[in-house]
Structure 1
Amino acid sequence: MSDKYEIDIQAFAKALQSGQGLNGKDGLLTPLIKQITEAALGAELDEHMAQDDQPNRKNGTSRKTVKTASGSFELDTPRDRNGSFEPQTVKKYQTRLTD
């Protein structure tokens, strides 16, 4: 995967110092969890596409609300045209992420 995510540690620290929490809807961890989860799902789909014997291609994303200990967020789950992709990081119909 060629996408790189960088965290501005200074901005993160300033937000903590100014009272922004780590958890909750506007918490600092929630967007990080979203980015990491979406990147993992994208990598899963890429691997699936490489192993698929049938002609297949990516077909956008579907959105669902996922709840975590840090807060909830809208997750964009990638899809394939044939509907054969079964994500493992966040399975179909799963709405909670746990440790």
Structure 2
Amino acid sequence: MSQEFDFNKALEQLQSGKKLTGADGVLTPLIKQLTEAALKAEIEQHIESESEPNRKNGTTKKTIKSTHGEFELETPRDRAGTFEPQLIKKN
């Protein structure tokens, strides 16, 4: 999983003139970290609610393009292939 967001480093970057949003924006790593955490919670809830045996099965990389910048996201997968993320849809 990605590195934890460093608020002190982000503050230094803002003070040195780096943009808040955009491709290399200060917020892009934080958005990535929060999105991956939400997807992890989604798959854990999905697996717990399944009536058939199922388990996590790694991640798949997905490029996300937003107004806050582009980043690669690690989206979780399940063994049965029944997990359909709600936050970031497949494809």
Q: What TM-score do the two structures reach when normalised by structure 2?
A: 0.89
- How far apart are residue 15 of structure 1 and its match? 1.1
Q: Counterpart of 1:41?
A: 39
Q: Counterpart of 1:68?
A: 66
Q: Counterpart of 2:30?
A: 32
Residue correspondence of structure 1 range 1-99 to structure 2 within 5 A: 7-93=5-91
- How far apart are residue 11 of structure 1 and its match? 2.8
- How far apart are residue 12 of structure 1 and its match? 2.1
The 3 A distance-change label for structure 1 pair 64 and 6 is closer
Counterpart secondary structure, 2:72: strand
Count matched residues. 89
Task: Work out the CA distance in 1 between the residues paired with 2:4 and 2:35.
Answer: 15
Q: What whole-Å deviation, never above 9, does each CA across 1:26-62 have from its counterpart, x for those lacking one? A: 2111111100000000000000010011111100001
Query: What percent identity do the matched residue pairs reach?
Result: 57
Runs of 4+ in 1 over 3 A off after TM superposition: 5-10
The 3 A distance-change label for structure 1 pair 7 and 65 is closer
Q: What TM-score do the two structures reach when normalised by structure 1?
A: 0.82
The 3 A distance-change label for structure 1 pair 77 and 8 is closer
Task: Work out the CA distance in 2 between the residues paired with 1:17 and 1:38.
Answer: 27
Name stretches of at least 5 consecutive residues in structure 1 with no aligned partner: 94-99
